[in-house]
Amino acid sequence: MANNFLRRVDLIFDQDCNFKDVLKSTYQRSNDDIINELLESGLKGRGGAGFPTALKWKFTSEQADVEKYIVCNADEGEPGTFKDREILFKVPLKVFGGMAICAKVINAKEGFLYLRGEYRFLLPELEKQLAQFQSILDELKIDFHIKIIMGSGAYICGEESALFESMEGGRGEPRNKPPYPTVSGFRKKPTVINNVETLVYSFMIFRYGAHKFKELGTADSRGSKVFSVSGDTPKPGIYELELGMTVEQFVEEFGDGDTKAVQVGGASGFCVPRKRFKDTIIGFEGVPTGGSMMLFNSSRSMYNVLHNYLEFFEEESCGQCTPCRVGCQQLKLGIEAVKRGERHATYLEQLQKLAQTMKITAKCGLGQSVANSFFSIVENFKEEMIY
């Protein structure tokens, strides 16, 4: 890679990995030891929210219930992200391996992989790989089984509690929190729910040790991350990169020379305009991302971009809570009205206040995060909203 600042990493897709050995050696370690190593690594959830993985495992392991579960969230639905698909396609055993290690720590006998409805084409191969995985577990005399459950295409089912509802056969609607999944998750039992990528990193940390992972990234954002790069770029695709780069460094590598904005974290993420490229770090200290990186050049209308996101949220809201269900419709109709001149430009300020209310009152992360793209696009591209 030509760029001096960007470091390509190869942890995730590293094929030189003896799956059975890693699993065997990790299973010989104590649970405390495993949790401590994971804690030491600083691994945070790769789905976007960034909760320390070790703590999720620890909290769940501390629950007295006999029945517990590990669930892999493979409902990758954020617009612009497709990295879990690649991971499941290329290294599914590592995903299962991460689940198996977690199962040991929390003492779960059953695990589930909730696969995005649109990824059904992955299922036959995944089932084959799963059979191989189960035979390795049998060899190692590990009592743990994974089932793959298909989603049906609702974005909201990527929200962990909606995902549990969907798995239980209910409507994909988020639950009230607390209780959190570590206390009451799938079937109301303590559950660890991790993103696909998080589970692979967990597995790789037990292959290489926490130190290798910790060497990468920054204090707040340890390790590397798989990015899904799309939009106005000459080289769209999947890249595993060290965390801690600025948007400017990213754009230097992936931009087409005319990048005016980068949407970091998909529709629910933040839009970074050119003037902020330099001082914006991609990571938990700056703009966090589940992996989606969309580049827009000057030929793009940011009004259209925002309108597209709002249309998406309007449709993908589960519809149960007021701020999200009605708020999304109002934001979309609101920018349309301003654009058509039916409402004064100051109405945008009203809408921003509404977005702020959605951010603090919506029941789940979906409704709360609509404000991210709304604010960052309206703030930075106001003239495009009005004229």
Partner 1 sequence: MAKKINLIIDGIPVTVDEGTTILQAAKQLNIHIPTLCYHDDLCVAGNCRVCVVEMKGARTLPASCAMPVAEGMEIMTNTIKVRTARKHIIDLLLSEHNAQCTTCYKNGNCELQNLAAEYKISEPMFIDLVPFKNYQIDAYSPSIIKDDSKCIRCQRCVRTCEELQHVSALGVAYKGDKMKISTFFENPMFEVVCTNCGQCVNRCPTGALVERNYVEEVWDAIYDKGKHVVVQTAPAVRVALGEDLGMEPGEIVTGKMVTALRRLGFDSVLDTDFSADLTIMEEGFELLGRLKKALVDKDPSVHLPMTTSCSPGWIKFIEHTYPEYLDNVSTCKSPQQMFGALAKTYYAQKKNLDPANIISVSVMPCTAKKFEANRPEMRSSGYKDVDYVLTTRELAVMIKQAGIDFGELPETHYDSIMGESTGAAVIFGATGGVMEAALRTAYEVVTGREVPFDGLNITPVRGMEGVREASIKIEKTKPEWKFLDGAVLKTVVAHGLTNAKKVMDAVRAGKGDWHFIEIMACPGGCLGGGGQPIPTNAEIRQKRADAIYREDAGMKIRKSHENPEIVAIYKEFLHEPNGHKSHELLHTHYRERERY
By the rule CB under 8 A, 171 interacts with partner 1: yes
Distance between CA atoms of residues 240 and 6, nearest Å: 10
The residue from 88, 105, 154, 371 that contacts partner 1 (CB under 8 A) is 154
Name which of 174, 45, 187, 47 is nearest 110 in CA terms.
Answer: 187
Give the SS3 label for residue 34. Answer: helix
By the rule CB under 8 A, 368 interacts with partner 1: yes
By the rule CB under 8 A, 326 interacts with partner 1: yes
Q: What totals of helices (H) and strands (E) does the chain contain, helices first?
A: 15, 9
By the rule CB under 8 A, 333 interacts with partner 1: yes
Helix, strand and coil percent figures for the chain, each rounded to 5: 50, 15, 35
Interface stretch with partner 1, choices 43-51, 66-74, 189-197, 354-362 (CB under 8 A): 354-362
Please work out, in degrees rounded to the nearest 5, the angle formed at the alpha carbon of residue 98 by the alpha carbons of 45 and 36.
Answer: 70
The residue from 166, 249, 317, 380 that contacts partner 1 (CB under 8 A) is 317
Instruction: Closer to partner 1 by CB, 108 or 354: give it.
Output: 354
Interface stretch with partner 1, choices 83-91, 144-152, 196-204, 318-326 (CB under 8 A): 318-326
By the rule CB under 8 A, 136 interacts with partner 1: no
Distance between CA atoms of residues 360 and 239, nearest Å: 33
Using CB under 8 A as the binding criterion, the count of chain residues that bind partner 1 stands at 37
Distance between CA atoms of residues 350 and 323, nearest Å: 14
By the rule CB under 8 A, 222 interacts with partner 1: no
Name which of 372, 338, 378, 380 is nearest 356 in CA terms.
Answer: 372
For the CB of residue 147, give the shortest distance to partner 1 in the complex, in Å. 25
Distance between CA atoms of residues 225 and 198, nearest Å: 9
By the rule CB under 8 A, 328 interacts with partner 1: yes
By the rule CB under 8 A, 359 interacts with partner 1: yes
CA 113 to chain CA centroid, nearest Å: 15
The residue from 330, 372, 376, 380 that contacts partner 1 (CB under 8 A) is 330
Q: Which residues contact 244 (CB under 8 A, 6 or more apart)?
A: 217, 218, 221, 281, 282, 283
Residue 229, amino acid: V
The residue from 68, 225, 316, 369 that contacts partner 1 (CB under 8 A) is 316
Interface stretch with partner 1, choices 53-61, 213-221, 284-292, 307-315 (CB under 8 A): 307-315
| Residues in 55-84 at the binding interface with partner 1, rule: CB under 8 A | none
Compute the CA torsion angle 144, 226, 211, 63 (nearest 10 deg): -40
For the CB of residue 351, give the shortest distance to partner 1 in the complex, in Å. 9
By the rule CB under 8 A, 352 interacts with partner 1: no
Instruction: Closer to partner 1 by CB, 114 or 144: give it.
Output: 114
Alpha helices in 68-195 (DSSP H): 83-90, 92-106, 123-139, 160-167
Instruction: Closer to partner 1 by CB, 37 or 173: give it.
Output: 173
Interface stretch with partner 1, choices 170-178, 184-192, 213-221, 238-246 (CB under 8 A): 170-178
By the rule CB under 8 A, 357 interacts with partner 1: yes
By the rule CB under 8 A, 321 interacts with partner 1: yes
Please work out, in degrees rounded to the nearest 5, the angle formed at the alpha carbon of residue 283 by the alpha carbons of 5 and 71.
Answer: 125
What residues make contact with partner 1 under the rule CB under 8 A? Answer: 154, 156, 171-173, 176, 178, 313-323, 325-330, 333-334, 337, 350, 353-354, 357, 359-363, 368
